[in-house]
Amino acid sequence: MYAIEANDLEKTYPKKITLYNFSIRIPAGEIYGLLGPNGAGKSTFIRILAGLERQDSGELKILGEVPGKKIRKTIGVAPQENSFHNLLTCFENLIYYAELYGMKRNESEKRADELLDMLGLGEKKNVQAAWLSGGMKRRLNLACALMHKPKIIILDEPTTGLDPISRIRMWNVVRSIKEKEKATILLTTHYMEEAETLCDQISFVNRGHIVRTGTPEKLKSIIGKEFLRVKSTPGNYQKIIQNIEKIEGVKHVTVANEELLIEAKNAASKIGAITRMLNENNENIIDLRVSQATLEDAFIKLTGAGLKGAKNETTK
């Protein structure tokens, strides 16, 4: 039995197909990532899971059941926008959430203290939420979702907007929740490092659709281990891509984030030929690197689009 199972979900807003053929199987006990750019449909799927919206068609099962009120109590959602009240203290916010879930007062007070300690907010217990730093606010948002001891925890972009140190702290919190709460965690992100460091499995989501699923290693192996990254001005790559692909040993060429990604066997040995070709086409090289494949490179190869930027809106 899967913690979450969706088959062929479809969701359309006026003139916009937001999810289509959206199928996913999330095993219990895993940290599972949905990695995709702005507008890919990640939050839409989460709103459907949380019962805030309904799919137009397709089947959804949570812990093997079609979700009703009882099953939805086993989920805790930390939404993309912080959902606590700024005027309440950290502790009061947690008690407020506990009451929404019908928890008894002595039980909820104990749980609130436990979570504040676990999430590094113990000293801020009686501080109004409005006065917390950005990283603390994200952790409080998460604590609210954990109050009722959910078996499935959903984190919608837990670290967007956080500085690198707060981000790493959040990653440690997520890992410790997996261990201590023995829960399944579904998180969305558009940071490949986040998906790679935290997730047992990842689904690439683009334009309302799951493009590919696998472990981080498996997804990265979609492209060869090595390739060249080249940046030049003026960057008129389209007219030379075909010629670069003809160079012996070059497997695949894509353009993303204003760079040429050239997948090749023994990538370093192709530098001479590629440099010559760019020079002949009046391109001035400003950066050239041999590098290891990343999750974003795999995403680009599969979708032709990067993970950043809001241009990737869903249309069909």
Site for ligand ATP (CB under 6 A): which residue of 33, 41, 135, 216? 41
Q: Does residue 16 touch ligand ATP according to CB under 6 A?
A: yes
The residue ranges that bind Mg ion (CB under 5 A) are: 42-43, 80
Supply the DSSP string of 209-275, one letter for each residue: EEEEEE-HHHHHTTS-SEEEEEEEES---HHHHHHHHTSTTEEEEEEETTEEEEEETTGGGGHHHHH
Q: Does residue 39 touch ligand ATP according to CB under 6 A?
A: yes
Question: Minimum distance between the CB of residue 42 and Mg ion, rounded to whole angstroms?
Answer: 5
Interacting span for ligand ATP (CB under 6 A) from 36-44, 81-89, 94-102, 237-245: 36-44
Interacting span for ligand ATP (CB under 6 A) from 38-46, 66-74, 97-105, 287-295: 38-46
Beta-strand relationship, 57-62 and 2-13:
antiparallel
Looking up tokens 């391109």 gives 283
| Percent helix, percent strand, percent coil in the chain, to nearest 5 | 35, 30, 35
178 binding partner (options ligand ATP, Mg ion, none; Cβ < 5 to 8 Å by kind): none
Residue with smallest beta-carbon separation from Mg ion: 43
Interacting span for ligand ATP (CB under 6 A) from 35-43, 71-79, 86-94, 116-124: 35-43
74 binding partner (options Mg ion, ligand ATP, none; Cβ < 5 to 8 Å by kind): none
Q: What is the DSSP letter of 131?
A: G
Q: Does residue 79 touch ligand ATP according to CB under 6 A?
A: no
Q: Does residue 44 touch ligand ATP according to CB under 6 A?
A: yes
Residue 291 to residue 90: CA distance in whole angstroms: 45
Beta-bridge partners for 35: 189, 204
**87: which 2 tokens?**
């005027």
Residue 26 to residue 34: CA distance in whole angstroms: 11
Residue 269 to residue 29: CA distance in whole angstroms: 44
x/- track of binding to ligand ATP for residues 182-211 (CB under 6 A) = --------x---------------------
CA 219 to chain centre: 14
x/- track of binding to ligand ATP for residues 276-315 (CB under 6 A) = -------------------------------------xx-
**166: which 2 tokens?**
């707060």
Question: Minimum distance between the CB of residue 260 and ligand ATP, rounded to whole angstroms?
Answer: 26
Q: Which residues bind ligand ATP (CB under 6 A)?
A: 13, 16, 18, 36, 38-44, 80, 190, 313-314
